[in-house]
Structure 1
């Protein structure tokens, strides 16, 4: 026998309530475990959330500083070859500005 639409809605609502109850229960258990570890190791909020902790890193790496590869002979301005090409290089080839 197949369930009616209304019966299925009621089953879904009951299941959603059950999911929420289990989620809250597991969340409490997780918090208890974390608090026990904090107490065991004497951790502070600085230990957990400071950038100095070394665990929480941003998703980007900083690029190493690179020596310039190109120089504008008229102004002395340089460019490493990274990023947008400077306007002073627009009309000529890169080789014309290469630092030798």
Structure 2
């Protein structure tokens, strides 16, 4: 369970925003986009990346819930233009497809 009172979690939550694929394409071109599965808390993943929580990140990577965004998914996003949410944890931009507000995902 993520500690949603963690100051960094709160900061990342405040920096999470809805974004279109067009704005993310330059980050994809640089290989800086990480895809977060819809069933995972985007901000919790961002927190783990920011805090270098290797065990959590490895578990998500191993479970396919976190991955570098692949070309086939990028083409799909370009074609469909779904609602996306993103948060920056330099050098990465973590992105997730979903239509609801991130605050509703606790």
Same fold (TM over 0.5): no
Higher relative contact order (CA 8 A, sep 6+): 2
Whose strand fraction is larger, Structure 1's or Structure 2's? 2
- TM interval, shorter chain, is under 0.3
Q: TM-score, normalised by structure 1?
A: 0.17
Q: TM-score, normalised by structure 2?
A: 0.17
Structure with the greater alpha carbon radius of gyration:
1
Q: Counting helix residues as a fraction of each chain, which structure ranks higher? A: 1
